[in-house]
Structures are given as structure tokens and as C-alpha cells.
């Protein structure tokens, strides 16, 4: 077991080094395989949009509710949902602190991802590791080889639940479910 922990620790350190320098990493999460970068590096976020061939905004993975409060205006309905379902498979859309633009936030139930964010000390983008409109992947061997070649580093591992997160828009009242996933809201 110690060898696995040492190996994973080295992988985390390598991922953090790459993320610090603006790189893109593929990693298993609690839900599905993700592809990410520092959320505060616009050129890296744009690189993921180019890789995925997507124009949509990506969710930001955080480690605690304090980070959520720093990034967004957390409404009472948003707080009710996150207190019930975080960490876990719930991505919640709220308004950014800085403007009325929406931001998706999630605290994953993944020790690996939490370790990466804690060591990096910055939230990361955490979108599914697939090309736009392609199915999400839950196993390393099912990752598209073309996608893997476009990333700077890949961590092998297990996705725990193997189901995408539920996405909820908490900027409206009542909240609106945008994608049914792991967490059942109703």
C-alpha cells in the first residue's frame, strides 16, 4: 500500500508542477475523468476550450465553502444544496462575486483532486475529459488517445461513482436542474 501512496504522491506533485506553469492535466475524479488547469489562467482555460472544441464555460473545482464564498455570491438556496451534497457530485451555478456572470462550482469527493487543489493552493477547472458532445469517460483505457496527446500530463486512477455530476442553476428561484446526474435533487 505504501508504494501506491508514494506513487500517487509523486503523480500529484508532478500534476501540481504542470498546473503551476499553466499546463493541462487529465485526472480521475469522483464522478468521471476530468481535464483541468488553473482557473485563474485564461490562456490555459482557452487551451482546454480549444482542445475540447467547446465554447462553454467550465466548472471550477474547489476544496471548501470558503473558496465558494470568495468566488461567488452564494444564495440561501445554493447554500442549502451545497450543505447537503458537498463534497460530491453536485455542480452549482451561482453569480460570480465580480459581476453577474455565472460560475459553476463543485467540491469533489475525491482525495486525489482535493490534494491537487490544496497543494496548488488555487481552484482548478474540472470539466469532463472528452471532446465536446462525446460521452464522458470513467476509465483510463477509454480516454480518447487524441485528447491524451493534447494534455501535458495524465493521472491514471479510478472514478468512484462513474456518473457525471448533477448541474443546478441556483441563480434562479426555484433552482433549475440543467443536467441530471449523480445527485438526485427532487
**Which three cell numbers mark 104?**
459553476
Given this model, what pLDDT does residue 120 score?
98
Instruction: Please state, rounded to an integer, the average pLDDT across all residues of the chain.
Output: 95
Residue 60: helix, strand or coil by DSSP? strand
For residue 142, the 8-state DSSP code is: G
Distances in Å between the alpha carbon of 156 and those of 28, 50, 72, 121? 7, 23, 32, 22
Mean pLDDT in residue range 105-109: 98
Of the pLDDT bands very low, low, confident and very high (cuts 50, 70, 90), residue 2 is low
Q: What is the pLDDT of residues 53-98, one digit of tens each?
A: 999 999 999 999 999 999 999 999 999 999 999 999 999 999 999 8
**What are the residue ranges spanned by the domains of the chain?**
2-179
User: What is this structure's pTM?
Assistant: 0.95
Under CATH, what is the fold of the domain 2-179? DHBP synthase (3.90.870)
For residue 165, the 8-state DSSP code is: P
Amino acid at each position: 500500500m505504501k508504494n501506491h501512496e508514494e506513487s500517487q504522491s509523486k503523480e500529484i506533485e508532478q500534476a501540481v508542477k504542470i498546473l503551476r506553469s499553466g499546463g493541462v492535466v487529465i485526472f480521475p475524479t469522483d464522478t468521471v475523468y476530468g481535464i483541468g488547469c488553473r482557473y485563474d489562467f485564461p490562456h490555459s482555460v482557452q487551451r482546454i476550450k480549444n482542445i475540447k472544441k467547446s465554447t462553454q464555460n467550465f466548472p471550477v473545482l474547489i476544496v471548501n465553502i470558503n473558496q465558494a464564498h470568495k468566488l461567488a455570491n452564494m444564495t440561501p438556496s445554493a447554500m442549502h444544496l451545497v450543505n447537503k451534497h458537498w463534497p460530491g457530485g453536485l455542480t452549482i451555478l451561482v453569480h460570480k462575486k465580480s459581476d453577474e456572470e455565472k460560475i459553476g462550482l463543485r467540491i469533489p469527493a475525491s482525495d486525489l483532486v482535493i490534494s491537487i487543489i490544496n497543494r496548488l493552493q488555487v481552484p482548478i477547472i474540472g470539466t469532463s475529459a472528452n471532446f465536446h458532445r462525446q460521452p464522458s469517460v470513467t476509465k483510463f483505457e477509454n480516454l480518447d488517445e487524441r485528447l491524451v496527446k493534447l494534455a501535458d500530463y495524465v493521472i491514471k486512477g479510478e472514478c468512484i461513482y462513474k456518473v457525471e455530476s448533477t448541474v443546478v442553476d441556483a441563480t434562479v428561484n426555484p433552482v433549475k436542474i440543467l443536467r441530471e446526474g449523480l445527485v438526485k435533487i427532487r
